[in-house]
Structure formats: C-alpha cells, structure tokens
Amino acid sequence: MIIKRAGYICIGLMAVFSTTYASILAVSPLPLLYIDRNRSGLVSIGEALNSIDIDKRKVTGQPDCIEYFWLKDGLTAYISCPKSIK
C-alpha cells in the first residue's frame, strides 16, 4: 500500500514538473534556440527558468523591432523584427 502511494506521489510530482516546464517554455517570447544558451540542443530547467528573467525594449533606429534582453546583465538575448511586406 505504501509503495503504491509513493508511486502515485512520484507520478503526480512528475506531472507538475512537466506541466510547469512546458508552461515556462510556452510563454517565453524567446525562440528555443535562444533559451538554450549553451547550445546543447536540450533546454535545461535552469535555462527555462532564466528565460523568464527577460524584458523588452525598442531598438534604436529600428522602431518596428523589439529587443529582448536579460535582466541579469542587460545583454541582448534576441531581436525580433517584422518581415517587411513588399
């Protein structure tokens, strides 16, 4: 009985962790390529949590573009510019 409960708790914790991880990645404005800061091909939970710590500002000289930057150090994480329609 105790083993069965432990199994349910384990499954519940994995479900909460997976849902939280997926939610963080889903709401981040950064593409996964930029969230994966060490370019390993896998986004760690630490990298996912860091992707929450960003803000945005307009790019000087390019008012249609938005720069996403890391709050920790102010460095640019990603610049998003709309594609021009000709």
* Structure confidence by residue, pLDDT tens digits, 32-44: 888 888 889 999 9
**Structural domain contains residue 86:** no
Collapsed DSSP state (helix, strand, coil) of residue 54 = strand
For residues 33 and 5, what is the distance between their CA atoms, to the nearest angstrom? 39
Q: Model pTM?
A: 0.67
For residues 63 and 58, what is the distance between their CA atoms, to the nearest angstrom? 6
**Structural domain contains residue 62:** yes
Q: How many domains does the chain have?
A: 1
CB count within 10 Å of CB 28 equals 19
**Structural domain contains residue 40:** yes
**Which residue from 59, 50, 57 is spatially nearest to 28, judged by alpha carbons?**
50
Q: State CA 38 to chain mean position distance.
A: 14
Range of the domain at 54: 2-80
* Structure confidence by residue, pLDDT tens digits, 57-66: 999 888 889 9
pLDDT higher than 70, residue 2: yes
**Structural domain contains residue 15:** yes
